[in-house]
A and B are shown apart, each in its own frame.
Chain A
C-alpha cells in the first residue's frame, strides 16, 4: 500500500545535493510498515492480539524530601493472574524512575529507549544530565507519533534534576501532565482515596513511604487486578533508592490483625503426607 507523502516532503533546496545542514533531519524515525493489502484491519488485528493488561496500581507524589514512587506487582490477563512478581518501577537512570501501566512490553521498551537513546545521548552531547521536563517531553513526543497504532503506555516519569524534584504523567495518547500527585491503573481510584486524604507536603521520608505503601495496599485489597508485592522507591537529590517491597498478603494482617476468637477445633499435625 502506497502512502501519500506529499504533505511530508520538506522544502529542500533543489540545487546542492550535498546539503549537510539538513542531513539527518529529513527522514522521520519510523518502524517498517507492513506489506499488506488491508492496512487498517491489520493494525486492528495486531492491537487485539497484543491485548494489553491494564490491571495495575502505580502512584507517585512530590513532597518536601523528593518524590515517592510506589507500585504493585501483579500482571493479569483477563481473569488469570499471569505473574505476582512483575517489576513495575523501571530504573531509567540512577536519578530517574518510570512506572509501568498498560502494555508491559511497550512500557519496558520505551523506558529503556528513553534511558539509553535519549537521556544518555543528551548527557554525552551536552555534558550535563537531562532534566525530567526534557525527558518526559521527548517521551511524550515519541508516543504521540505512534498514536492510534495500539501502544498502551500509562507512565509517570519521576526524577530529581537541577530544579529539584519533578513528576510528569505521560500516556500513549500523547498526553503529558505536570503535577504533584498521580496514580495510574485500574486500582488508582482506591489509591487516590488513601493518598489524597493522607497527603501533606512536609512529611518525613518514613511517613511518605508508609502513605505510599498503605495506598498501594488498599488498592490491592479492592481491585482484583492489583496485588503481589508493594514496592516503594524514593527519589532524592542523590538519585533513587528502593525503600521496601512488602508482600501485600502479609500487609493486610499487619494492618488488620486477626482477633483471636474461641477455638472450637484445633488442627492437629497429620503424619505422613
Chain B
C-alpha cells in the first residue's frame, strides 16, 4: 500500500443551486487497523469557505495549520475574508513550494464566491488545480466516488436534494473501500446558513 493509503480517507464536494455540499468519511486508521471513528477531515476557513484534506493525516494536519495561519494574516492585512479562488491559488502555491518533498495530501476546496456562486476545486499533492463545475473527489475511495457521483449528479439541485444525493454517493463509495467509511460528515452551505450533519453508515 502506498503512503497515500496509510491512513485512508474519502472526500467529495458537489455543487448545487447557489449552494454547495462537502462530505467526508470519519475513519482514521493505521493501514488496516481502525484507530478512530470520529476524525474531522473538513475544516472551516471562514463562513463561506471550507477545505477538506485527504491523504496522510499528519501532513493534512500540518498543511491545515499553515493554511489557517496564512488566512489569519490575510484577514489582518486585508480586513476581509479570502475569496475561494484566491484560497485555491494559495493552496496550490504552498503545495508546489514542496515540489521535491511534497505533502502527501489531496485537498478539496469548496466555497461561495461573489454573487453566491458556488466554487469547488481539488488539487493533486503538488498543487495542480482542477476546477470543476459539478463535483470533485479525493481519497482512497476516489475511484468509487467518481463513479457514484457521475451516476447521481444532477445540475442545480436544491440544498435538501443535494444533501441526499451527496450522502448516498459517499456511503455507497466507502462501502467499497476497506480504508474509509465508519460514518460520514457532511456540510451543506447556502448563502444564509451552514448545516452540519453526521451520517450513519456501515461500521465495517
Interface pair B160/A268, CB less than 8 Å apart: yes
CA separation between A220 and B37, bound complex, in Å?
Answer: 13
Which of B82-90, B118-126, B195-203 lies at the interface with chain A?
B195-203
Chain A: interface secondary structure? loop
Given A81-B178, A270-B160, are A222 and B200 neighbors across the interface (CB < 8 Å)? no
Give the number of residues in B that approach A within 8 Å (Cβ atoms).
25
Q: Is residue A74 within 8 Å, beta carbon to beta carbon, of the partner chain?
A: yes
Interface residue tally on A, bucketed by range: 20 to 34
CA separation between A267 and B195, bound complex, in Å?
Answer: 12
Interface pair A224/B8, CB less than 8 Å apart: yes
Q: Is residue B204 within 8 Å, beta carbon to beta carbon, of the partner chain?
A: yes
Which of B26-34, B56-64, B102-110, B129-137 lies at the interface with chain A?
B26-34
Q: Is residue A122 within 8 Å, beta carbon to beta carbon, of the partner chain?
A: no
Q: B197 contacts which chain A residues (CB < 8 A)?
A: 265
Interface pair A270/B32, CB less than 8 Å apart: no
Q: How far is the CB of B106 from chain A (nearest CB, A)?
A: 15
| A and B contact pairs by CB, cutoff 8 A, 10 listed | A55-B32, A79-B1, A79-B178, A80-B176, A220-B204, A223-B33, A224-B33, A225-B178, A265-B197, A267-B160
Q: B179 contacts which chain A residues (CB < 8 A)?
A: 79, 224
Contact residues of B with A, CB < 8 Å?
1, 5, 8, 29, 31-34, 140, 160-161, 163-164, 175-179, 195, 197, 200-204
Contact with B along A74-95 (1 / 0, CB 8 A): 1010111100100000000000
Q: How far is the CB of B110 from chain A (nearest CB, A)?
A: 19
Q: A252 contacts which chain B residues (CB < 8 A)?
A: 202-204
Q: Is residue A258 within 8 Å, beta carbon to beta carbon, of the partner chain?
A: yes
Q: How far is the CB of B25 from chain A (nearest CB, A)?
A: 12
